[in-house]
Amino acid sequence: MAEGKACSCRKRFRGGASGYNCSFENKQLSDPVMQEHYTPSSIESAAQTKWEKNQVFRAIEDTSKPKYYCLCMFPYPSGKLHMGHVRNYTIGDVLSRYHRMQGYNVLQPMGWDAFGLPAENAAIANKVPPAKWTWDNIDYMRLQLKSLGFAIDWERELATCSPDYYKWNQWMFLRMLEKGIAYKKTQVVNWDPVDMTVLANEQVIDGRGWRTGALVEKREIPGYYLGITQYAEELLGDLDKLEHWPERVRLMQANWIGKSTGVRFAFPYELDGEAGQLWVFTTRADTIMGVTFCAVAAEHPLATHAAKNNPELAAFIEKCKHGSVMEADMATMEKEGMPTGIFVSHPLTGEQVEVWVGNYVLMSYGDGAVMGVPSHDERDFAFAKKYGLPINQVVGMEGKEYSLDAWQEWYGSKDGACVNSGKYDGLNYSAAVDAIAADLIAKNLGEKKVQWRLRDWGISRQRYWGCPIPLIHCDDCGTVPVPDDQLPVKLPEDCVPDGSGNPLLKRDDFLKCTCPKCGKPARRETDTMDTFVDSSWYYARYASPDNADAMVDERADYWMPVDQYIGGIEHAILHLLYSRFWSKAMRDLGLVSYDEPFKRLLTQGMVLNHIFSRRTDKGGIEYFAPEEVTAETDEKGRILSVKSSVDGLPVDYQGIGTMSKSKRNGIDPQALIEQYGADTARLFMMFAAPPEMTLEWSDSAVEGSFRFLRRVWKLAHDHISTGIVPAYTSGDLPAELKALRFQLHTLIQKVADDYGRRQQFNTAIAAVMEFLNAFAKADLKSDAGKAVAQEALETIALVLSPIVPHIADALWNELKPGSDILDQAWPKVDPAALVQDEIELVVQVNGKLRSNIKVAKDASKEVIEAAALADENVQKFVNGAPKKVIVVPGRLVNIVA
RNA sequence: GCCCGGGUGGCGAAAUCGGUAGACGCAGGGGAUUCAAAAUCCCCCGCUGAAAGGCGUGUCGGUUCGAGUCCGACCCCGGGCACCA
């Protein structure tokens, strides 16, 4: 059903597009004179129709050219494009079109990250099946993307909610199951006791369910995990190979993976006559002599045991089990604990140490228990102070006094040496760790261990709108994988979730099946996969989107890895790490041959806008779009108070944040495109800020981008209306034209550097604007002037074409009739144009700018120094002989007086 | 709380390797053109000062002939924190 839908809408679009393509050709024939005014709507539809008709962006494997696979993160089909999408896809389009001009065989595909929670929310709100809502959104957003004129190969379009696609999620999951990469264990989820449903983190607001307002509970349920930790070492090590990734992303991933080498050791104990061991992990084994307590997670077996005859402790444990599962909440909440009355022996001293239950100890990290060294761990220090536990200093630093009054930074330092630690006294950090580890190992109570912060990836979701996990539950055979020839397990597309649990549980036609092993009636798994699974390999599927028999084929060997990946910085960790892991898993199954899927990464900054909200009476949050509120501001423009324009009641201002559908603060680019055209929208987004930086939305500057395009059009029109001529190639020129050509050819270099190496487009645009200012001022009426004007205008069309392809196409049609700008190579720099005789240097005295001097390009240091000292203005600030003169070739002279 | 970014005129920003702070644009002011308006073109536009000059890149301190850029401490804003995508 999903597939049929996709096909029909593609046909619909093509039919619609061909309806107006004849107007373009008619205009060419009947109206050979260039329009005086810039009219984006006709220019843009003409260019887009031509591109679509000639299929110019179809990517075909061609080993005679270097390939360039340029990929933007595919959008979630939320309904409309927002400015973040325009930014993302324009960056990708500029890079794609630029590389095409540089001779690459370019692939730029597009698809839809089509499973996910918002479709279920929409279903709850509007009673529309998620499938219909999603496919309708895709149809609309595809049209929006097409109206922006991106050089996309639409033949490769995919949607993750199509069974053609998610069949391979299921197939891959079964292979991972066979290899032991996928496995089952319990997971902790947010449970809404009123709706009897699992909530996503974003559906929990201040510990309460978003719809019911009920206090959310933590609940342990079984789920499937992918063993990403099996790849932890490689995922960390290979970060070094990703030299074209931003350093900050590699850093974030390395910290996330979090390799720490330490010691895992045990506190022996005897409980009800039975011997046991409480295992903990620490990176600070050197402080082990300072242990004054141990803390275990609420779910730890010792806690459970102690709670049996201790109702107070049982209540505390119950309280710990409530509340959030989010790390941010865990880290900021008040650290609380309660003693269990159970004592364990210190493994080295034999001293008795009491075990506490701590709400800050995570069962999922390490062994679910930690040693407490309040003297040298800030969290333990606060905990000990709160509960009056002893604090024994065991690390000292020369010249530093240990005081129990307040925590000091150096207490946690690894730069000190052991004190009050018996035979370990005087040892530094690493020597102490080694000695203590050796002693623990000798006692059979410890081991050196590498601990990872990275946890295995839980992929089970108790939700409807996702890829079904291909398993069958049989009373006799247990959990049985769905055989490959029965894939895909198709999701029924007519369900309408109502917020109270997974609607698949009510669908007998989905649930009921026969056991593949014994043939008896059995029940299908109703959990679906995390949508990060869908996005972990779509980039590879674009290479072979039509293959019904294999996940990927040999065409992936041609296109992969992705040469340039572009997406929001918010994906720096999870999506990119999961994709890297999935690639390696595919490689180990022999499906692909690359180790890393993305060669070069550009992380664009988020597009931000103001967020307005109000509490609902149930304790949930209702968001207001910026146009639905009126704000009062102070003289500096800061928001003081906000009211709803509808009911006039106060609204909370939540500050600035990323544009998102859920927060209702997105700006729809449609109005912008309709008013100014796609080229202006594209130009403005590229001009407003460098791609990596966050961008606070403001629509006041759009006008300037439009004005610039109109100016380009007018200058070209003025030139063309007096007759086009061959572009200048060689011959003597007057100084003014020489200077203009110097600027033009510097511009070609500058823009190529900005597009290709720096990936910074705002400065490229500024450089073209600067050149255009000079061009407009120049006198180009002579024959030589006209030839240079032709050369300049052709060059401007070429260098701007990646950013504003429609106007560039139209200008090219006028400047070089009979040829297509898409077939043109990047303009060549004329070395003769770059020759300069004189250069200007800045002269500073004591680091302060005092003058400028002109010297011959190759003037010696002595000549430059003399010229600088001879300068009238410089002499005013220099009395007598200078102490020192610094000459920076080609830049400046600094005289130290 | 932890990890990662960012902070420069009224505003978006530039300064790419430590070398002219504010390119380019928006907004604003003045003028030209026009019967008028739109559009366009020209000039001004960090603060201070009559000028010479002085001050100025979140705050405080340091390194350097020279710091927006490097180092240390702090403040504010944004992103991520594993079930939003």
DSSP code per residue over A606-674:
PEEEEEEEEE-TTS-EEEE-GGGEEEEE-TT--EEEEEETTT--EEEEEEEEE--TTTT----HHHHHH
The distance (Å) linking the CA of A454 with the C1' of B84 is 21
For residues A292 and A302, the answer to whether their CB atoms sit within 8 Å is no
Residue with tokens 């409309």: A80
Residue A249, CA: closest nucleotide via C1'?
B4
The distance (Å) linking the CA of A873 with the C1' of B50 is 21
Q: How confident is the model at residue A31, as a pLDDT?
A: 45
What DSSP string runs through A11-71?
A: HHHHHHHHTTHHHHHHHHHH--SPPSS--HHHHHHHHHHHHHHHTTT-----TTS-EEEEE
Residue A633 has pLDDT above 70, yes or no: no
pLDDT band at A637 (very low <50, low <70, confident <90, very high): low
Q: Give the span between the Cα atoms of A263 and A443, in whole angstroms.
A: 14
Residue A849, CA: closest nucleotide via C1'?
B20
Q: Give the span between the Cα atoms of A170 and A540, in whole angstroms.
A: 16
Strand B nucleotides, any atom under 7 Å from protein beta carbons: they are 1-6, 10-16, 19-21, 23-27, 39-42, 53-54, 65-67, 77-85
∠ CA A619-A621-A623, rounded to 5°: 160
Q: Give the span between the Cα atoms of A333 and A801, in whole angstroms.
A: 53
Q: How confident is the model at residue A857, as a pLDDT?
A: 84
pLDDT band at A724 (very low <50, low <70, confident <90, very high): very high
> In the predicted model, what is the mean pLDDT of residues A330-355?
92
Q: What sign has the CA pseudo-torsion A186, A529, A464, A75?
A: positive
Residue A346 has pLDDT above 60, yes or no: yes
pLDDT digits over A884-894, tens only? 899 998 889 99
pLDDT digits over A840-883, tens only? 899 999 888 998 888 998 888 889 999 999 888 888 888 788 88
Percentage above 70 pLDDT, chain A: 95
Ranges A604-613, A651-660, A810-819, A836-845: which has the least confidence: A651-660
SS3 annotation, A517-569: CCCCEEEECCCEECHHHHCCCHHHHCCCCCCCCCCCCHHHHHHCCEEEEEEEH
Q: Give the span between the Cα atoms of A660 and A348, in whole angstroms.
A: 55
Residue A776, CA: closest nucleotide via C1'?
B41
Residue A5 has pLDDT above 60, yes or no: no
Residue A536 has pLDDT above 60, yes or no: yes
Residue A282 has pLDDT above 60, yes or no: yes
Distances in Å between the alpha carbon of A631 and those of A73, A612, A615? Answer: 35, 10, 18
Ranges A156-160, A435-439, A535-539, A720-724: which has the least confidence: A720-724
Phi-psi region of A399 (alpha: psi -120 to 50; beta: other; left: phi over 0): left
The distance (Å) linking the CA of A33 with the C1' of B28 is 39
Q: How confident is the model at residue A814, as a pLDDT?
A: 96
Task: Please state the φ and ψ torsions of residue A711, each to the nearest 5 degrees.
Answer: -70, -45
ipTM reported for the complex, 2 dp = 0.96
Q: How confident is the model at residue A658, as a pLDDT?
A: 81
Residue A201, CA: closest nucleotide via C1'?
B83
Q: How confident is the model at residue A26, as a pLDDT?
A: 35
The distance (Å) linking the CA of A852 with the C1' of B67 is 21
The distance (Å) linking the CA of A95 with the C1' of B46 is 36
The number of CA neighbours under 13 Å toward the Cβ of A669 is 31
Q: How confident is the model at residue A19, as a pLDDT?
A: 29
Q: What contacts A410, CB < 8 A, 6 or more positions away?
A: A397, A400, A416
Task: Please state the φ and ψ torsions of residue A7, each to the nearest 5 degrees.
Answer: -65, -45
Task: Report which of residues A273 and A61 the model is more confident about.
Answer: A61
State pTM to two decimals.
Answer: 0.92
Task: Please state the φ and ψ torsions of residue A180, each to the nearest 5 degrees.
Answer: 80, 10
CB atoms within 10 A of CB A723: 8
- Partners of residue A183 on adjacent β-strands: A225
The distance (Å) linking the CA of A777 with the C1' of B43 is 15
Q: Give the span between the Cα atoms of A823 and A571, in whole angstroms.
A: 35
- Partners of residue A270 on adjacent β-strands: A275
The number of CA neighbours under 13 Å toward the Cβ of A863 is 9
The number of CA neighbours under 13 Å toward the Cβ of A357 is 25
Q: Residue A827: which of A788, A793, A799 has the closest Cα?
A: A799
Residue A450 has pLDDT above 90, yes or no: yes
Residue A662, CA: closest nucleotide via C1'?
B84
The distance (Å) linking the CA of A763 with the C1' of B21 is 17
> In the predicted model, what is the mean pLDDT of residues A565-577?
96
Percentage above 90 pLDDT, chain A: 70
Ranges A326-335, A469-478, A670-679, A789-798: which has the least confidence: A326-335
Residue A22 has pLDDT above 70, yes or no: no
pLDDT band at A268 (very low <50, low <70, confident <90, very high): very high
Residue A468 has pLDDT above 80, yes or no: yes
Q: How confident is the model at residue A23, as a pLDDT?
A: 33
pLDDT band at A7 (very low <50, low <70, confident <90, very high): very low
Residue A459, CA: closest nucleotide via C1'?
B83
Residue A382 has pLDDT above 80, yes or no: yes
Mean pLDDT is highest, among A101-115, A415-429, A696-710, for A101-115
Q: How confident is the model at residue A171, as a pLDDT?
A: 98
Q: What sign has the CA pseudo-torsion A122, A126, A128, A129?
A: positive
The distance (Å) linking the CA of A389 with the C1' of B84 is 42
Name the residue closest to the C1' of B24 by its CA. Answer: A766
CB atoms within 10 A of CB A519: 10
Q: Residue A643: which of A659, A624, A657 has the closest Cα?
A: A624
Ranges A326-340, A450-464, A738-752: which has the least confidence: A326-340
What DSSP string runs through A442-505?
A: HTTSEEEEEEES---EE-EE--SSSPBP-EEEETTTEEEEPPGGG---PPPS-----SSS-GGG
Task: State which amino acid sits at residue A690.
Answer: P
How high does pLDDT run on average in chain A? Answer: 90
Task: State which amino acid sits at residue A482.
Answer: V
SS3 (DSSP) at A511: helix
Q: How confident is the model at residue A251, as a pLDDT?
A: 95
pLDDT digits over A33-53, tens only? 688 889 999 999 999 999 999
A353: exposed, middle or buried (Cβ count in 10 Å: 0-12, 13-18, 19+): buried
SS3 (DSSP) at A572: coil
Residue A271 has pLDDT above 80, yes or no: yes
Distances in Å between the alpha carbon of A635 and those of A559, A638, A639? Answer: 55, 7, 10
Residue A27 has pLDDT above 50, yes or no: no
∠ CA A59-A61-A67, rounded to 5°: 80
